[in-house]
Amino acid sequence: MKLFFRVFLLIQLVTLPLRAQYMVQGVVIDSLTKEPLPYTSVYLKGTTEGGMTDNNGRFSFKTCRPEATLVISTVGYNEYVRLIHPAKSSKFNIALSPATYALDEVVVKPKRERYKKRDNPAVEFVRKMIEHRDDYSPDERDFWKRDRYEKMTFAINNFDSLKQQKWLYRKFKFLTDYVDTSAVTGRPLLAISNRELLATDYYRKSPRSRKQWVAARRQAGVDEMLSRQGMEQAISVTMTDVDLYENNITLFTNKFVSPLSSLG
């Protein structure tokens, strides 16, 4: 059974590149102001295919599905759902309508002291940081490079004997070969993916360009037995670089206002 499963996966990986690929791309804007919406989640329902819009509200990704349901969502707007046919049309202009919320009245009464912005050293410190944000932003330099080391581990916690008796794990008994012990809790865990990257990033302001030179890469885990395309897509969507010099930052597909933003 183990040999048959690995042969089946090998056939799937060999035949996957032969399938037609379609490009899904477009732009997401505010339906009222017509301004682009950056860092908006765009994905195909029930899959890991998709990504986030850039600073100009544009998105682009590939899919092998001739028909799928496109889902676009972000905080403060109504979710957009649409059946698309990437094989026929792959460019979309999406206008999201702002969501309305009915909130109950909340009355806050201070006891003794009131918060004051005037002559508050913390407020003044943050204000000066925002004013001089661009003076220290790395992207305002003509050129820079940095060394990058990444280590990511995805695992299922408490992978004890009870979980190993479930039908999914009984069917794929080779999963027990990847069971390890947590250095924190001391309990067994199933390593889904272990990834390490050693690289150097390069940036040029004009013309704007970013490149990465990979010195070494290591990958191990159960994901080597599964679809690498799906795993890579899931990691690229959830694990993105956090840049505090941007007005908005994205962490685990959630968008937050940067502390250095003018709205911070």
**What's the farthest any 2 CA atoms get from each other in the chain?**
73
pLDDT tens-place string over residues 180-229:
777 777 778 777 777 888 999 999 988 889 899 999 988 776 665 555 55
Listed ranges 77-81, 150-154, 193-197, 251-255; the one with the highest mean pLDDT: 77-81
**Angle value at C-alpha 11, between 8 and 17, nearest 5 degrees:** 140
Helix (H, G, I), strand (E, B) or coil at 205: coil
User: Prior bond to 110 cis, omega within 30?
Assistant: no
The closest of 99, 54, 49, 56 to 74, measured between CA atoms, is 99
**Angle value at C-alpha 77, between 74 and 81, nearest 5 degrees:** 75
Residue, of 1 and 121, whose pLDDT is higher: 121
Q: What is the pLDDT of residue 17?
A: 47
**Residues 218/195, Cβ–Cβ less than 8 Å:** yes
pLDDT tens-place string over residues 131-164:
888 887 888 888 999 999 988 877 777 777 666 6
pLDDT tens-place string over residues 28-59:
998 888 888 888 999 998 888 888 898 888 99
* Cα within 13 Å of Cα(210), Cβ side: 4
Residue 8 pLDDT level (bands cut at 50, 70, 90):
very low
- Cα–Cα separations (whole angstroms), residue 122 to 24, 115, 119: 46, 12, 9
Length of the chain: 264
**Angle value at C-alpha 250, between 182 and 124, nearest 5 degrees:** 110
Identity of the amino acid at 261 = S
Residue, of 7 and 157, whose pLDDT is higher: 157
Residue 169 pLDDT level (bands cut at 50, 70, 90):
low
Residue, of 130 and 204, whose pLDDT is higher: 204
Hey, what domains does the chain have and what are their CATH numbers? 2-96 (2.60.40.1120), 138-244 (no CATH)
- Cα–Cα separations (whole angstroms), residue 49 to 41, 65, 123: 11, 10, 42
This model's pTM is above 0.95: no
Q: What is the pLDDT of residue 147?
A: 93
